[in-house]
């Protein structure tokens, strides 16, 4: 095993084992204390779940459900050990999290010896403030999840399952995993203000990066929301909107701390207070009066009514005495005044930075704050202070933001003023001349080189003439993999100008199919299919379909809609890609042959679907439940398993029938029998990838899909062997000889 690792890797592993052993030896005499903390976390969590948490989570789940929906929702244990094992797993995690800091503290001597312990300790009060900030933000994020997000989401998911004719019978394991995963996502997302301000203050990630890349952050938030939340727009928006608002607040806080750090030497709190003392005092008085009015005008009652409306048992209490009320009012006034002082200190620093950068030193102007016209109007000193790399980076940022005109303006101004800018001294002129000479030797100005470097990027979205490669050269010079890559790239380039239509059709079909299923289509299909089963197999007596996971019905609807959209979009995609396929010698027929292909494949798909839906699927399901009927058992199928079984035995029959048909069509288009026989490995990998994406997430189902498809592929090869006389006479021989 060690021989398979390089020397650096072995050294790293050895150092890690040595450090771990040293930590254990250093903390050996205190391991009992570490274990006590672990035990407290484990047992405390175990009994808290048993006595309080499960009931609380059930109340949260049903908080926004109507009485009828709430009565149909049940949470079950699939095995006798589900509950106790789940409590033990959660307790183990909490115990380890609680004991780990204690272990690190007691093993700090070993870390100090190896230089892994901070050499300059952070003051305790700063650590306490950071910890309190983290806890406060975490609590706020989790509170939003439990009092706003979860009640509405569970009500929506349960109503969707019931409307489709299924029973929302959640497995306690899957239900708890869903809740805890989203709890962690809200808790981590709530740390955004602390993380962004800390990174900006330390200049690890400058504030300007967070500011300029906000579009990327928005896309990232929705991408993460798609992973954590149900696949419907409503719940994704409920998750993403608060996080985006939090990003905006965090961005402003990052700007405040960055400005304060950069202007710390010029910060004058006393001067700011003297200049704005009247406004600060007024803000403090207003804050105190608002708190007084809240308690005296029934604010406590309104808040308690709101908490009760969302299903919370918590209440806030009014001050029990005049002295306590006065204390609250005084604290509110002081807090408001402190906030006002912070605002004016920051405001004065920001104004000072603007004056110094914009008036005293034009070279400090930030190009990111300017548009294309502002770049053209900027003073020459701005570009005289830039290096070529900085100018290219600024232009690249403008391209990323979709501002092509601004990017070109930056390059033009740098070519115009960059070489001649600066202070005009001889020492500055020499590097400029050298840089200009270098630019000339390399093929022109930076603008010329930038235009050439970015032409591919711009032309990719235009209608410029395509420059396809020579297939004969590919046969001679490229490896097999490079040939595949060249063909695929050429075909993708050919449909780039039609991508909007293709994607638009795909999304339209996906949305339409999902909307039909969501508004009752899946229920109508389910009821019609049950009517085709034998009379002894009725949903009331034997066959039930349940949702073990809150998102199970929605996930199936999305996957099924994606498959339908892909099938409908495939002919359009083939139509637009056909000329490129023909040019690369992959097919020989003309573009109108797409209609023949579509008709043949649609006929096979519809015929197989009709046969499966009317005969094969009901027969298979009746045979599967026969033993349960004989033993007087009740079967509860999961939505995912039941409907994928129906899909595989209906539409799956049509897809299997289409495989030999497609192979015959490909042979008539110029793909040889020998080529299809020699590429069976690539086909197998593609089928496995398809099965992994569009079937239930387990290995068994993936192979149950792959094996019949590959068997159909084998049948297609057999048919082609007969039709083509063993490959000696293809239906349409390709123009180039196969390798």
Phi, psi for residue 170 in degrees, rounded to 5: -85, 135
677 and 651 assigned to the same domain? no
106 and 153 assigned to the same domain? no
Residue where one domain finishes, among candidates 265, 288, 309: 265
130 and 261 assigned to the same domain? yes
**Interacting residues of 222 by C-beta distance below 8 A, sequence separation 6+:** 236, 240
Q: Per-residue pLDDT for 480 more than 80?
A: no
Least confident segment among 205-219, 374-388, 689-703: 689-703
**What percent of the chain lies above the pLDDT cut of 70?**
74
- Which range in 321-325, 512-516, 541-545, 583-587 is most confidently predicted, on average pLDDT? 512-516
Find the DSSP H helices in 297-425: 299-309, 322-355, 372-377, 380-384, 388-400, 404-413
Least confident segment among 10-14, 83-87, 128-132, 673-677: 10-14
Q: Is the dihedral of CA 18, 23, 29, 33 positive or negative?
A: negative
131 and 111 assigned to the same domain? no
698 - beta bridge partners?
Answer: none
528 and 641 assigned to the same domain? yes
Side-chain-side CA neighbours of 599 within 13 Å: the count stands at 5
In a domain, 154, yes or no: yes
Q: Per-residue pLDDT for 3 more than 70?
A: no
**Structural domain range at position 548:** 520-657
Residue where one domain finishes, among candidates 220, 246, 265: 265
In a domain, 493, yes or no: no
Q: Per-residue pLDDT for 464 more than 50?
A: no
Q: What is the C-alpha separation between 347 and 356, in angstroms, rounded?
A: 14
In this structure, are residues 625 and 543 in contact, taking their beta carbons and an 8 Å threshold?
A: yes
- Neighbour-count burial of 549, counting CB atoms closer than 10 A to its CB (0-12 exposed, 13-18 middle, 19+ buried): buried
261 and 130 assigned to the same domain? yes
| Mean pLDDT within 410-434 | 55
171 and 236 assigned to the same domain? yes
88 and 110 assigned to the same domain? yes
Q: Per-residue pLDDT for 628 more than 60?
A: yes
**Interacting residues of 249 by C-beta distance below 8 A, sequence separation 6+:** 193
Residue with tokens 């909107």: 241
pLDDT for the residue 39: 92
Kindly indicate the confidence band of residue 40, based on its pLDDT and cuts at 50, 70 and 90. very high
Q: What is the C-alpha separation between 245 and 242, in angstroms, rounded?
A: 5
In a domain, 435, yes or no: no
Residue with tokens 């015959």: 664
97 and 174 assigned to the same domain? no
115 and 141 assigned to the same domain? no
171 - beta bridge partners?
Answer: 76
**Interacting residues of 657 by C-beta distance below 8 A, sequence separation 6+:** 604, 605, 607, 608, 712
Q: What is the C-alpha separation between 629 and 539, in angstroms, rounded?
A: 12
In this structure, are residues 10 and 2 in contact, taking their beta carbons and an 8 Å threshold?
A: yes
Q: Which residue has the higher pLDDT, 636 or 101?
A: 101
In a domain, 369, yes or no: no
Phi, psi for residue 5 in degrees, rounded to 5: -105, 145
pLDDT for the residue 312: 60
| Mean pLDDT within 571-579 | 84
- Which range in 18-32, 182-196, 462-476 is most confidently predicted, on average pLDDT? 182-196
76 - beta bridge partners?
Answer: 171
From the list 559, 696, 699, the residue with the least C-alpha distance to 641 is: 696
637 - beta bridge partners?
Answer: 545
In this structure, are residues 688 and 702 in contact, taking their beta carbons and an 8 Å threshold?
A: yes
Phi, psi for residue 267 in degrees, rounded to 5: -70, 130
Q: How far is CA 367 from the centre of its chain?
A: 31
98 and 141 assigned to the same domain? no
Residue where one domain finishes, among candidates 98, 119, 140: 119
Q: What does pLDDT average to over the chain?
A: 75
Kindly indicate the confidence band of residue 236, based on its pLDDT and cuts at 50, 70 and 90. low
In this structure, are residues 514 and 164 in contact, taking their beta carbons and an 8 Å threshold?
A: no
- The helix/strand/coil state of 27 is coil
| Mean pLDDT within 463-485 | 46
In a domain, 507, yes or no: no
Q: Per-residue pLDDT for 350 more than 80?
A: no
In this structure, are residues 155 and 550 in contact, taking their beta carbons and an 8 Å threshold?
A: no
What is the total count of domains within the chain?
4
| Mean pLDDT within 714-727 | 87
In a domain, 537, yes or no: yes
Q: pTM for this one?
A: 0.57
In a domain, 312, yes or no: no
pLDDT for the residue 453: 42
Rounded to 10 degrees, what is the CA torsion of 649, 652, 653, 657?
Answer: -170
**Interacting residues of 107 by C-beta distance below 8 A, sequence separation 6+:** 22, 23, 24, 26, 27
Q: What is the C-alpha separation between 76 and 341, in angstroms, rounded?
A: 56
pLDDT for the residue 121: 56
From the list 208, 277, 217, 263, the residue with the least C-alpha distance to 243 is: 217
| Mean pLDDT within 16-36 | 78
Q: What is the C-alpha separation between 690 and 708, in angstroms, rounded?
A: 13
**Interacting residues of 451 by C-beta distance below 8 A, sequence separation 6+:** 411
pLDDT for the residue 450: 47
pLDDT tens, position by position, 486-540? 767 777 777 777 788 888 899 999 889 988 887 778 888 777 777 777 766 655 5
In this structure, are residues 557 and 522 in contact, taking their beta carbons and an 8 Å threshold?
A: yes
- The helix/strand/coil state of 549 is coil
Least confident segment among 78-87, 100-109, 534-543: 534-543
Q: Which residue has the higher pLDDT, 146 or 24?
A: 146
In a domain, 552, yes or no: yes
Start-to-end Cα distance in the chain? 40
538 and 637 assigned to the same domain? yes
Q: Per-residue pLDDT for 447 more than 60?
A: no
């Amino acid at each position: 095993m060690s021989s398979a690792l390089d020397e650096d890797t072995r050294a790293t592993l050895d150092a890690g084992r040595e450090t771990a052993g040293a930590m254990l030896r250093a903390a050996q005499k205190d391991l009992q204390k570490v274990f006590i903390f672990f035990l407290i976390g484990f047992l405390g969590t175990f009994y808290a779940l048993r006595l309080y948490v499960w009931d609380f989570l059930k109340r949260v789940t049903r908080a926004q459900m109507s009485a009828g929906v709430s009565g149909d929702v049940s949470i079950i244990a699939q095995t006798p050990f589900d509950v106790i094992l789940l409590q033990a797993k959660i307790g183990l995690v909490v115990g380890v999290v609680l004991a780990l800091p204690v272990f690190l503290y007691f093993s700090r001597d070993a870390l100090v010896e190896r230089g892994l312990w901070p050499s300059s300790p952070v003051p305790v009060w700063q650590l306490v403030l950071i910890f309190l900030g983290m806890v406060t933000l975490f609590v706020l994020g989790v509170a939003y999840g439990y009092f706003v997000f979860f009640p509405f989401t569970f009500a929506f998911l349960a109503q969707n399952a019931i409307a489709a004719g299924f029973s929302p019978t959640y497995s306690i394991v899957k239900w708890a995993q869903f809740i805890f995963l989203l709890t962690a996502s809200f808790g981590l997302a709530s740390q955004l203000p602390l993380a962004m301000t800390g990174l900006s203050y330390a200049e690890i990630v400058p504030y300007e990066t967070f500011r300029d890349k906000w579009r990327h952050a928005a896309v990232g938030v929705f991408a993460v929301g798609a992973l954590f939340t149900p696949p419907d727009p409503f719940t994704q928006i409920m998750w993403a909107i608060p996080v985006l608002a939090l990003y905006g607040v965090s961005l402003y806080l990052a700007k405040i701390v960055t400005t304060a750090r950069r202007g710390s030497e010029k910060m004058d709190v006393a001067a700011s207070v003297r200049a704005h003392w009247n406004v600060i005092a007024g803000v403090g008085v207003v804050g105190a009066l608002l708190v007084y009015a809240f308690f005296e005008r029934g604010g406590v009652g309104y808040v308690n009514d709101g908490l009760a409306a969302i299903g919370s048992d918590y209440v806030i209490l009014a001050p029990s005495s005049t002295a306590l009320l006065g204390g609250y009012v005084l604290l509110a006034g002081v807090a408001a005044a402190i906030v006002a002082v912070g605002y004016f200190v920051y405001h004065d620093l920001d104004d000072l930075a603007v004056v110094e950068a914009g008036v005293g030193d034009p070279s400090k102007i930030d190009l990111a704050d300017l548009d294309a016209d502002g770049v053209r109007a900027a003073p020459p000193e701005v570009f005289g202070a830039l290096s070529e790399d900085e100018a290219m980076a600024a232009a690249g940022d403008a391209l990323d933001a979709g501002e092509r005109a601004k990017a070109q303006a930056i390059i033009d101004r740098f070519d115009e003023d960059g070489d001649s800018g600066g202070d005009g001294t001889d020492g500055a002129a020499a590097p400029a001349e050298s840089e200009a000479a270098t630019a000339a030797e390399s093929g022109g100005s930076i603008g010329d080189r930038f235009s050439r470097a970015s032409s591919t990027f711009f032309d990719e979205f235009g209608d410029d003439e395509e420059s396809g490669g020579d297939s004969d050269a590919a046969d001679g010079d490229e490896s097999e993999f490079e040939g595949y890559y060249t063909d695929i790239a050429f075909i993708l380039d050919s449909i780039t100008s039609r991508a909007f239509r293709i994607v638009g059709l795909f999304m339209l079909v996906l949305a339409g199919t999902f909307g039909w299923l969501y508004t009752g289509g899946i229920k109508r299909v389910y009821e019609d299919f049950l009517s085709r089963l034998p009379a002894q197999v009725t949903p009331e007596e034997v066959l039930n379909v349940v949702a073990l996971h809150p998102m199970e019905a929605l996930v199936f609807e999305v996957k099924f809609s994606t498959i339908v959209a892909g099938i409908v979009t495939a002919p359009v995609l083939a139509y637009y890609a056909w000329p490129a396929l023909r040019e690369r010698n992959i097919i020989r027929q003309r573009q109108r042959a797409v209609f023949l292909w579509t008709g043949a494949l649609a006929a096979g798909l519809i015929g197989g679907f009709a046969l499966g839906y009317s005969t094969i699927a009901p027969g298979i399901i009746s045979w599967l439940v026969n033993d349960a009927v004989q033993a007087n058992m009740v079967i509860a199928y999961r939505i995912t398993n039941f409907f994928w079984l129906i899909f595989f035995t209906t539409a799956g029959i049509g897809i299997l029938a289409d495989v030999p048909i497609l192979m015959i069509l490909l042979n008539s288009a110029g793909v040889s029998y020998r080529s299809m026989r020699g590429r069976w490995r690539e086909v197998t990998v593609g089928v496995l990838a398809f099965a992994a994406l569009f079937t239930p997430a387990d290995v068994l189902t993936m192979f149950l899909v792959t094996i019949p498809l590959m068997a159909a592929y084998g049948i297609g090869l057999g048919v082609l062997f007969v039709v083509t006389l063993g490959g000696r006479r293809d239906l349409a021989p390709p123009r180039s000889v196969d390798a």
